[in-house]
Amino acid sequence: DRFFQPVANALDNPLNLKGTFWETGQLYEKSNNSVLSDDPPEISDLIKILETTRDAFHSPSALVDAISEGRYGDASRLLRGGLISESKIRLVAYALIDSLPEDDENEYLINELFRVFLRYLDALDAAVEAASRPSLGAVGGSGDDPRIKLLSLLGEVEDKMNLFVVAIKKGLGT
């Protein structure tokens, strides 16, 4: 009956609802460091936000440690706003893409790289969620230790994010 035991610090979310409260267990608090402000941010500041996020994916980081130690509930919360904020990544990325010079081929390529990154991030999020709830099925098959698969996915997410950051910097000439 170990499969029916609740995950430590996890909220009961049978409908798998999205949102800050359901994903992190904490009520939303408005940040003073909002990406959106009255003054438009500098491109270098936006790139720095993406680079900081990219760096959060690799070792040593709280996310890598949580996965390595099998704390999948913690890893899920870190991926869903605790350390990585998909909404912030989207805002920054789309602002940078909108800042690109008018070049259809380059803009299409960068958009596609960002979409690929988002697909990999979503796959990682789903795999961590499945690992945190054993009743949903194990990652990589029943009885297997999901840590290797999750760390591999994490590396792929970092690689896709890096490809996007390099391309956007090249496209913007920075």
> For residue range 18-39, what is the model confidence (pLDDT) as tens digits?
666 656 666 666 665 554 555 6
Rounded Cα distance between 8 and 21, Å, is 16
Cα 36 from chain centre: 19
Q: Please say whether the beta carbons of 73 and 148 come within 8 A.
A: no
* 134-156 pLDDT tens trace: 765 545 555 577 888 999 999 99
pTM: 0.71
Q: Which residues contact 9 (CB under 8 A, 6 or more apart)?
A: 25, 73, 74, 77
Instruction: Quickly state the pLDDT bin for 119 (edges 50, 70, 90).
Output: very high
Tokens read off for 62: 């709280």
